[in-house]
Amino acid sequence: FRRVLFRSGRFEARIKLPAGQGMWPAFWMLGDDVEKADWPACGEIDIMENIGKEPSIVHGSIHGPGFTGSDGIEASYTLPAARRFANDFHVFAVEWEPSVIRFYVDDDLYVTRSRSDLRPGWKWVFDHPFFLLLNVAVGGDWPGNPDAATVFPQTMLVDYVRVYQRSSE
């Protein structure tokens, strides 16, 4: 197993999410220096996170030294008309450049993050190689535990993952 590393580009995946209380699917990126710098100094870009108790909402965020947990820099996207992310495939994406990160759902730009979003003393840690992760966690402080209505097994269906990088000009 070898990590594929990136410094910028467009990262997208077409995913149908699992559903139910306690489910926590995610499509995210972590700084490659995690073993040396530790988290959160390595940086984290959450392209998409969903918690089962919010079936129509996904969250996109960035984390680094000083901005984690309740101090994280996060935004959410809500599907219109009470649609649920578990009912259909959706495209989740970020466009990452050295000083800006843009978050998308189904080609709708819903938030842009940049160095100007950081408070004094916080460090922009999105200028070195990162690698991609996709996972489904169960339970935890944020999503809570599964309940009697949560159905198992669960599946996060991934149609594709694509990475685009600018060509040299």
Q: Is the pLDDT of residue 1 over 80?
A: no
Residue 155 DSSP one-character state: -
> Closest Cα to residue 56, out of 73, 77, 75?
77
pLDDT at residue number 4: 87
Find tokens 């916080």 and name the residue.
122
pLDDT at residue number 98: 87
pLDDT tens readout for residues 108-148 = 999 999 999 999 999 999 999 999 999 999 999 999 999 99
Assess contact for 19 and 146: CB atoms under 8 A: no
Q: Is the pLDDT of residue 8 over 60?
A: yes
Query: How many whole angstroms separate alpha carbon 71 and alpha carbon 83?
Result: 29
Q: Is the pLDDT of residue 169 over 80?
A: no
pTM listed for this prediction: 0.95
Query: How many whole angstroms separate alpha carbon 123 and alpha carbon 111?
Result: 20
Assess contact for 42 and 32: CB atoms under 8 A: yes
Which amino acid appears at position 112 of this protein? T
Active site residues: 44, 49
pLDDT at residue number 168: 66
pLDDT at residue number 96: 97
pLDDT at residue number 69: 85
pLDDT tens readout for residues 47-98 = 999 999 999 999 999 999 999 988 889 999 999 998 999 999 999 999 999 8
pLDDT at residue number 131: 96
User: At 37, is the secondary structure helix, strand, or coil?
Assistant: helix
Residue 32 DSSP one-character state: T
